Every structure is written in C-alpha cells, then in structure tokens.
Amino acid sequence: MIVCSCNVISDHEVRDAASTSDYRSGRMSQVYRTLGRKPKCARCQHSIKEIVRKTLQTDETVYAS
C-alpha cells in the first residue's frame, strides 16, 4: 500500500527502513533519509509514524525473545 503519494513510498519500504539496524529514533525524517527522499506535504506523517512504531515494537519483541 502506498503511504506517501508525493514520494510513492509503500508501507513495505517504511517497514524495511525502520527495521535497519541503525534506525531506532522513531522519527519520520529518518525514514525519508534512509530511503533517500525528502518529505513534501507531510500528510503521510501519521501513517508513517504508526508503521514505524509498530515495526519497532515488533522488532523489540523479537529481540527480547
């Protein structure tokens, strides 16, 4: 599913960016940097933050096991 129509960023790309070993800030700007893009209108901000939050939460659960 496309979550950022300005940059055509999918939820899979957001999850992959959030799952990188150097990504732990939980910030939308880090997702854009990781993907080599720049935010434009920011309507996707809530969706991206929610995907990142869930991804980091899942990753922490997996690492804790």
| CATH number for position 23 | 1.10.10
CA distance 63 to 47: 24
Residue 37's CB is within 10 A of a number of other CB atoms, namely 15
Cα 45 to its chain centre, rounded Å, is 10
Q: Does the pLDDT at position 57 exceed 60?
A: yes
Number of structural domains (the chain) is 1
- pLDDT (0 to 100) of residue 20: 79
φ, ψ for residue 35 (rounded to 5)? -90, -5
What is the pTM for the complete model shown? 0.81
Domain boundaries, position 9: 2-64
